[in-house]
Structure 1
Amino acid sequence: MEAHAQPAGPFAVGTFSGGDGSRFAGLVTGRKVLDLRTVPDLWAQDGDRTTRALLERWDDVMPLLHAAAASGAPRLPLDALTVHAPVEPRQILQSGANYRTHVIDLAVAHEPEGGRPAEQVRAETAAMMDRRAAEDRPYLFIGLPSAVTGPYDDVVLPEWCAKPDWELELAAVIGRPAFRVPERRALEHVAAYTIANDLTARDAVFRRDMPEIGTDWLRAKNAPTFTPLGPYLVPSAFVGDPGDLRVTLRLNGETRQDESTKDMIFDAARLVAYASQTVPLKPGDLILTGSPAGNGMHWGRLLRPGDVMEGSIARLGVQHNRCVAESQEGRAS
């Protein structure tokens, strides 16, 4: 799988740096990148020149991006640049238990040895998923921007984490602010889509010292580098139906996840609408839509130093991350 496989559409938007290390918003066309700092009409006077600033003016910016993509303006070779996470989100809202097959597989994997038979667990979990769908109650929790890393950066496995797991997901990127929007209008507030790998420390999900308190998503989800993001923001107009995209993760070249977003219980529109009932969504915010079947718990094989994850979603490109052990120097004192 090629690390810089091209997304759908005439262009995508990302964040890059060159030899001097300074980051800039760039327009990707083929294997070239246009430095968008050189297109003055895109930017508000004296404002930031980041992808998040573009998202804040997305409706006005899109025609200008089309014009820039068609122009003969000088470009930089993609291979000469470092690709960073395409946006710095203010807020990350993550959907849990949103793929039917995935939740059933996890329930079986988490069943204690000597517990209920697998078929009973599958049947009971399937019935629970049917109830959730009928009650129309997605499950969302909060992620931290400090966990975000680039699409080709190393993922650092903390010393305390015994069961690190992959979870490749479709991420909806907010453009227009959204607060209490109806489901039928929700996707009008999505400017773009990108790829997120929402890693999980499985051993930290449940608080064994306080079972009554439930899950600990802070520790389980938010270690630095636990959310590789990108490579690019692909405008929603180029993506088509977000409910019909193939999500594939390969571990060391072997396919582990390979599922359509059709297996979601709650689609992207429902998740955006539901989140907006409580949280005012702002440009650059991310709605992670959940991960399909095929995680490490299902395979009985968790992440180890030296592993390489290649995650792709149809029409969005590919990310490529190597797992490394946390070093003595890398630990906070």
Structure 2
Amino acid sequence: MRFCRYQLSDQSTGIGLVVEDRIVPLQDIDPALPTDMDSLMAMQSAQLERLAAGCNLPGLSGSVKLLAPLAAPEKVVCVGLNYRDHAIETGAEIPSEPVVFNKFPSALIGPGDTIELPAESKRVDYEAELVVVIGKTARHVSEDEAMEYVFGYCCGNDVSARDWQKGTPGGQWLLGKTFDTFAPLGPYLVHKSVVPDPGKLRVQLRLNGETMQDSTTEQLIFSIPQVIAHITQVVTLRPGDVIYTGTPPGVGDARTPPVYLSAGDVCEVEIEGLGILRNECK
């Protein structure tokens, strides 16, 4: 099951089931179904199964804009240096435990939205990432039970201002990662039931059609259960919170010569089974 948030030409918004190339509003399937993503995530698996009735319904017609699948997550948690080859290409030591930082929710944008390149940075970089969406409150979760707390997955782009992240006193990871528009997310929220093994997904990023990153989540140093268990030792994760799980090698800052984002560039993050997240820079 793939879900989305959408906006119509009259500015009204809704939640839809994505069936092939069409969007079926949940309210067309059953008026009693949720009208927001938080309520949808609270449904039990057995309840979600009835959404299959929407597969034969017509989709929306006219102008439809996809929004970020989650409107306002309480937390946007990120894991750095979580692919061995990426750590090596940056010259960093292989971490012995997850490197955790965050972005503010104000950085979130959806598919088709614009990545705004700030005048304050000359070294803005891309990072394709698998994003985990938490489905129920998680605190002190073990690795064995961690996947029970996952609702689904999205494509994400951990856009990063490297001159702020690395070139300022002390290294400003937070500020370098959380400029407005620096957390593209989407295009869909894909339920975990249709992702048999999130540890075996191909992750790609194309910049203006050229493949810059191409790896699989098999290369993660710390698995999704390990990451969730580690984070919930410290902080309570709530439904709708998202975890950007790390990026594979091929980032622009590690290339010779370096490649940074410019106005007019188009980033496409594609993750196997999750769709393509496309954003233009300006």
1:74: Cα distance to partner? Answer: 4.0
CA RMSD of aligned residues (A): 1.6
User: Are the counterparts in 2 of residues 100 and 263 from structure 1 also a CA contact under 8 Å?
Assistant: yes
Alignment deviations for residues 205-231 of structure 1 (CA, whole Å, 9 cap, x no partner)? 1363x3xxx331232011111111000
Q: Is the CA contact 1:54–1:61 (under 8 Å) kept in the aligned structure 2?
A: no
Structure number having the greater strand percentage: 2
Q: TM-score, normalised by structure 2?
A: 0.94
Counterpart in 2 of 1:40?
A: 31
- Indicate conservation of the 8 Å contact 2:17/2:23, yes or no: yes
Matched with 1:22 is 12
**Aligned counterparts of 1:256 and 1:82: Cα–Cα separation in 2:** 27
- Residue aligning to 1:120: none
The aligned residue for residue 180 of structure 2 is 224
Separation in structure 2 between the aligned mates of residue 174 and residue 58 of structure 1, nearest angstrom: 14
Match of 2:129 in 1: 169
Q: Is the aligned partner of 1:94 residue 2:84? A: no
State the 1:57 CA deviation. Answer: 2.7
Is the CA contact 1:310–1:321 (under 8 Å) kept in the aligned structure 2? yes
Match of 1:197 among 131, 147, 157: 157
What code does the residue aligned with 1:222 have? T
- 1:106 to 2:112 alignment: no
Question: Alignment partner of 2:120: what SS?
Answer: coil
Q: Does 1:152 align with 2:75?
A: no
Instruction: Indicate the residue corresponding to 1:52 in structure 2.
Output: 38
Match status 1:261 vs 2:220 = no
Tell me, yes or no, if the aligned pair for 1:251 and 1:307 is still in contact at 8 Å.
Answer: yes
Gaps of 5+ in 1: 1-10, 44-48, 108-124, 325-333
Structure 1 contact 150–230 (Cα < 8 Å) conserved: yes
Using the aligned pairs only, state the percent identity: 38
Instruction: Using the TM superposition, give the Cα deviation of residue 22 of structure 1 relative to its aligned residue in structure 2, in angstroms.
Output: 1.4
Residue of 239, 252, 270 corresponding to 1:312: 270
For 1:66, the equivalent position in structure 2 comes to 52
Contact 1:91 1:145 in 2 (8 A): yes
Task: Give the 3-state SS of the residue equivalent to 1:83 in structure 2.
Answer: strand
**Contact 1:94–1:140 at 8 Å: present in 2 too?**
yes
- Post-superposition shift, 1:68? 3.1
Q: Would you say the 8 A contact 2:101–2:174 is kept in 1?
A: no
Q: Deviations over 1:170-224 (max 9, x none)?
A: 001111221111001101111110011010000001363x3xxx33123201111
Following TM superposition, the consecutive aligned residue runs of length 4 or more in structure 1 with deviations greater than 3 angstroms are: 58-61
Within 2, Cα distance between the matches of 1:147 and 1:93?
12
Q: Matches of 1:283 and 1:59 in 2, distance apart?
A: 15
Q: Distance in 1 between matches of 2:232 and 2:42?
A: 17
Alignment of 1:85 with 2:76, yes or no, is no
Deviations along 1:18-57, one digit per CA (max 9) or x if unpaired, are 11111111111012111123423323xxxxx211221133
Q: Which amino acid aligns with 1:102?
A: H
Query: How many residue pairs end up in the alignment?
Result: 278
Kindly provide the amino acid, as one letter, of the partner of residue 263 in structure 1. Answer: Q
Match for residue 141 of structure 2?
181
Q: Which residue of 1 aligns with 2:3?
A: 13
Name the counterpart of 1:301.
259
Does structure 2 conserve the Cα–Cα contact (< 8 Å) formed by 1:58 and 1:176?
no
TM-score (normalizing by structure 1): 0.80
Q: How does 1:223-302 map to 2 (within 5 A)?
A: 223-299=179-255, 300-302=258-260
* Alignment gaps of 5+ in structure 2: none
Higher-Rg member (1/2): 1
TM superposition shift of 1:15: 0.4
Query: 1:66: how far off?
Result: 2.6
Distance in structure 2 (CA, Å) of the matches to 1:179 and 1:294: 34
1:60 is displaced (CA, Å) by: 5.3
Amino acid across the alignment from 1:233? L
CA contact (8 A) 1:42 1:61 kept: no
